């Protein structure tokens, strides 16, 4: 699906910025542009001492409010996590190509790993053909899994240490052959396994890729990924790619 031509840069006040669990935070801010499932925003605090904004996926959107779920993984996101309600933040977006939800027909599996679950809730809420099965994998601490329950047919939660749900890796609990379409976002090793299996079984698959970005609009070429048609920009040509286009 094409990028939203209504993207813009704006300064807005943070409505909420809460810690969900260790290193996982959720920011809520006002936005008068409705994003597409799978899109993201570039976020930067006005008083931070870091130069570049950080890409954060749209976790949900409702009543003019965007929810942005993110992991603290460096200096920039650490400073963003320290911002409070009523602090001002610069947001650029919505950016990137989202999921074409109108083309998602048949039996669907949604597979997320770690912070890769972030863009999948808004997607699941917008699939209207039939409720998908959702598989969520975590290392140990689980977060936001219950938010998926009202919008999916079956929810399977997996932790590597077995502290919640099934024990193991999320890919061990998905029978790919049961589905017409598979959608995934998470660690590269997880998505590569899913893409490879779907390719072998000729099952349609879409992956939302996660890359470090500097600009978010395709100018800096800092988020290049190799595809069967050459190098593509995750921020501009993605982050959602068809598995048919990706090399694994």
pLDDT given at position 3: 46
pLDDT tens for 187-217 read 999 999 999 999 999 999 999 998 777 777 7
> Is the pLDDT assigned to residue 75 strictly greater than 90?
no
HSE of 9, CA atoms in CB hemisphere, 13 A: 10
Residue 86 lies in a domain: yes
Residue 49 lies in a domain: yes
Question: Count of H helices and E strands in the chain?
Answer: 4, 15
Judge whether 36 and 6 are in contact, CB under 8 Å.
no
Residue 52 lies in a domain: yes
Residue 226 lies in a domain: no
Residue 214 lies in a domain: no
The whole-model pTM stands at: 0.93
pLDDT given at position 2: 46
pLDDT given at position 50: 61
**What tokens appear for 227 in the block?**
């595809």
Residue 42 lies in a domain: yes
Output phi, psi for 196, to 5 deg. Answer: -65, -45
Q: How many domains does the chain have?
A: 1
pLDDT range class, residue 6, cuts 50, 70, 90: low
Which residue range(s) make up the domain with 42? Answer: 8-95
> Is the pLDDT assigned to residue 7 strictly greater than 70?
no
Residue 185 lies in a domain: no
At 49, which CATH number? 2.40.30.10
The sign of the torsion formed by the CA atoms of 211, 212, 218, 222 equals: negative
Judge whether 37 and 101 are in contact, CB under 8 Å.
yes
Token pair 């008083």 in the structure block, residue: 47
Judge whether 214 and 52 are in contact, CB under 8 Å.
yes
Residue 143 lies in a domain: no
């Amino acid at each position: 699906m094409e990028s939203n031509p209504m993207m813009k840069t704006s300064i807005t006040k943070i409505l909420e910025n809460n810690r969900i669990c260790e290193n996982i935070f959720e920011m809520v801010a006002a936005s008068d542009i409705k994003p597409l499932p799978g899109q993201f925003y570039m976020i930067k605090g006005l008083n931070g001492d870091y130069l570049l904004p950080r890409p954060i996926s749209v976790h949900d959107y409702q009543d003019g409010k965007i929810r942005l779920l993110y992991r603290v993984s460096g200096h920039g996101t650490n400073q963003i996590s320290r911002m409070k309600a009523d602090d001002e933040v610069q947001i650029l977006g919505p950016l990137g190509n989202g999921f074409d939800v109108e083309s998602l027909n048949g039996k669907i599996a949604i597979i997320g790993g770690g912070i890769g679950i972030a863009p999948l809730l808004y997607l699941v809420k917008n699939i209207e053909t039939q409720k998908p099965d959702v598989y969520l994998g975590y290392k140990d601490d689980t977060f936001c899994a219950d938010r998926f329950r009202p919008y999916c047919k079956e929810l399977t939660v997996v932790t590597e240490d077995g502290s919640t749900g099934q024990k193991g890796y999320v890919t061990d609990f998905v029978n790919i052959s049961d589905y017409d379409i598979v959608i995934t976002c998470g660690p590269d090793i997880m998505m590569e396994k899913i893409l490879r299996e779907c390719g072998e079984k000729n099952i349609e698959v879409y992956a939302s890729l996660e890359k470090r970005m500097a600009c978010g609009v395709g100018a800096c070429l800092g988020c290049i990924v190799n595809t069967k048609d050459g190098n593509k920009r995750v921020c501009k040509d993605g982050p959602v790619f068809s598995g048919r286009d990706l090399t694994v």
